[in-house]
Each structure stands twice: as C-alpha cells, then as structure tokens.
Amino acid sequence: MNETHDDVIRAKHLPRIGQSVRSRKYGTWWRVIEKKEVWLNTSDDPKTGACRVMPAIYLCYWRVQDGQQPGIGKMLGYSYSLHDNTFEANWELLN
C-alpha cells in the first residue's frame, strides 16, 4: 500500500489550522497558522538507486504572546511523516 497525506493526518492526529499546542520542552504556547502537504526525500532505493519521496504534512506554528497580533513574532515550521514520532515527542494538543 502506498502512503498518502491523509494517512499521515489520521495516524499522527495532527492539529488543524487555528488549534493551539504546547511545547513539551519549554511549556510555551503555539498556534498552527499553516498546514500543507509536502514530499520528503528519503534514501535512494537500494534496488534501482532511484531517489524516493514520502508524503508529509508541514505545520507552521506562531508563538502566542499577550499583546501581539497573530503572525507577528516567532514562528516555527516542521514536516511530519508516518515514520517519525517528533510531533508526539515535542507537542501537546491543547484544544
């Protein structure tokens, strides 16, 4: 079965645009302001040597701070695939 972007969204329980998350490491609050489908390069196919890609979801986060308008201030962006656990390890979904 080939992986799809929908598989990533379902399996990883990623937040929607507008939802807030908290950094597990620092305790800071962030809001998802962008979500898009992307392709990540993986290691070459050992049989053919051809480059392979896998579906991933890119999330852009904006740090929520009192007195600042959305989109102004610190922002971060990460891509999540089926083969990593970085969302679960680094973020806690708040709403």
pLDDT digits (tens, 9 = 90+) for 42-89: 876 667 767 788 899 999 999 998 888 776 889 999 999 998 899 999
For residue 3, what pLDDT is reported? 85
Question: Phi and psi at residue 67, in whole multiples of 5°?
Answer: 85, 0
Q: What is the largest CA-CA distance in the chain?
A: 55
CB 62 within 8 Å of CB 31:
yes
Of 29, 34, 41, 28, nearest to 14 (Cα)? 34
More confident residue, 70 or 37: 37
**Residue 44, pLDDT score:** 66
Range of the domain at 26: 5-93
Domain count, the chain: 1
pTM here is 0.85
What does the CA dihedral 36, 9, 81, 95 come to, rounded to 10 degrees?
90
